[in-house]
Amino acid sequence: MVLFFGCFGMASEIFFVAFTHAIHGEGIYNEPVWSLTGKTYVWMFPIYALIPLIAGPLFQKVGSLHVILRLLIYTALIFTVEFSTGLLLDQLTGKCPWEYTTGWHIMGYIRLDFTPAWMFFSFVVEYLYKLIDRRFA
């Protein structure tokens, strides 16, 4: 499951970046907008690979709560992990790879305006985790 969620998270991020830039009418890497060029960082693999290790037990604890409350809890956890890993990478390497400079960001490590996207991502991850867990249990 660690391998799956590491790859799934990185692929999701590549799609999100490509479509976000297209919606805003800006390409990246001097590519035209319609190329839908996306990106992620190798650092993200171990971060996304944490999903089944952290979220698995959490899914069991909050599974009976209303879906909106669960998604808010998951998003708060994502922001916590994103902020702490961004800060750690900044201290270890001298730079946070994702370093947000636009939107409602906190110290460049998290963007609060990405809350709906993280809630959607959490919904999909919860579904996939339960599906995979049932199939291999």
The pLDDT-based confidence of 45 (bands split at 50, 70, 90) is very high
Of residues 53, 38, 41, the one with CA closest to residue 3:
53
Count CB neighbours of 17 within 10 A: 17
Residue with tokens 């297209």: 22
DSSP-derived 3-state class of residue 105: strand
Give the list of residues 6+ apart from residue 121 with CB closer than 8 angstroms, or none.
12, 78
CA distance 90 to 109: 9
Residue 137 has pLDDT above 70, yes or no: no
Average pLDDT, the chain: 93
96-132 tens-digit pLDDT: 999 999 999 999 999 999 999 999 999 999 999 999 9
Tokens of 40: 């992620």
Q: State pTM to two decimals.
A: 0.88
**DSSP per residue over 56-99, as a string?**
HHHHHHHTTS-HHHHHHHHHHHHHHHHHHHHHHHHHHHSS-SS-
